[in-house]
Structure 1
Amino acid sequence: MNIGLAALIGALAFAVVTDIRHARVPNLLVALGTVAAGLYHGISVYGGGVLHVLSGSIGLISLLEGMMVGFVCLLPLYALRAMGAGDVKLMMMVGAFLGPLQTLGVVVLTFAAGGALAIVMALWQRSLRQVASNLRFLLTTYAVRATGGTGPELEPLQQTAGRMPYAVAIAAGTLLQLILVRSGGWALS
């Protein structure tokens, strides 16, 4: 395992633990992880990135592009109050390690992992009925506004089904991306 991958996995593990225990992702962790990514890509020999078997630097431009992909993909969910700012910053840190294409793969896999985690948590907390009600409300509101000629505006829900530690989904998406890249069976690598 290369040092960049070890730093990424270590930062994600710490983020998962703090998100589960304290319901937040520390800014210091994200800052240190981003600095570690910058150092890794700044001093390593050019290669395929931290997830590839032939690891190496992706370059500082790809680092910035990866951060931007993480930011742009998760910002709408933050704007809807569906996730916290720490989750967006954590995905930006992941993007700093991976670059734009692999970050996009992580985002897709994170959304899938987040959906599965949401269902598991709703079943565990016995709030599946509230989740279904919220989803119906969002879809109905969107459909009514879209057919009425007004732009779709999604407003935060007044009653939520609970809080989910999204760092778990981000870590799962990142590990799934690692597995798929290493197996060669994923187009986003």
Structure 2
Amino acid sequence: MIPYILYSWLIAVLIVCTITDLRQRRIPNLLTYPTAFFALTVHCYIGSWNGFFFSLGGLTFGFAVFLTPYLIGGMGAGDVKLMSAVGAVLGFQETAFCFLFIAVCGGIMAFGFMVYRRNIKNTLLKTFLGILYLGMHRDASLLKVEKNIIIQEGIPYGAAIAGGVFLFFLYLISNNKTLPAF
């Protein structure tokens, strides 16, 4: 029963974060930090130290997988913290699998935004040149994007995270698998 309270909390947080990210391009710390703490606490309560490390592994993976895009300016810190909170709820293994759904949602959103903004050619050219430059110089710090450009040209990745988690939950339910819990 307790894990379902945690999942209900996560779903509510993802909905609110999606709305704030779409409207204001922010993901509030007031939601991400308590969610991660709540998940660590619940998993520790259910599974003692093993539950704590189950949750900590997911939190660490969620943080690590989005750290590089954040460091080069490809996404905001709120996206990293939200993914960390999702990881704390799901644990390492399920977060790694859920990340695939999140990446697909992010790719679809990115393509949709390129079509909507009518800048497919420019975006693909910038991406290709950035990858080419990175391959030649191996200095990712020069690829860093300024915050105002991310706000203008980026996508609200909190919505992709939420969409990916929802698709992951639907996948589990449709395949008669249980939601992860320690």
TM-score greater than 0.5 by the shorter chain: yes
- Name 2:156's counterpart in structure 1: 165
Task: Tell which has more relative contact order, 1 or 2 (C-alpha 8 A, sep 6+).
Answer: 2
Corresponding pairs, count: 169
Matched, 1:156 2:144: yes
Identity %: 29
TM-score, reference length from structure 2:
0.83
Q: How far apart are the structure 2 equivalents of 1:23 and 1:156?
A: 19
User: Are residue 68 (structure 1) and residue 54 (structure 2) matched?
Assistant: no
Unaligned 5+ residue runs, structure 1?
47-57
Counterpart of 1:156 in structure 2: which amino acid?
Answer: K
Are 1:109 and 1:173, in contact at CA under 8 Å, matched by a contact in 2? yes
Could you tell me how far 1:39 is from its partner in structure 2? 3.6
TM-score, normalising length: structure 1: 0.80
Report what 1:35 is aligned to. 37
Unaligned runs of 5+ in 2: none
Q: Which residue of 2 aligns with 1:183?
A: 174
Residue identity in the other structure for 2:9: A
Alpha carbons 2:41, 2:52 under 8 Å: kept: no
- SS in structure 2 opposite 1:24? coil
Paired letter, 1:172: G
Decide which structure has greater helix share.
2
* In 1: Cα distance, 2:93 partner to 2:105 partner: 18
- Structure 2 counterpart SS, 1:115: helix
For the 8 Å contact 1:134–1:157, the answer to whether it is kept is: no
**Shift of the alpha carbon at 1:80?**
1.2
> Which segments of structure 1 move beyond 6 Å, counting only runs of 4 or more?
158-161
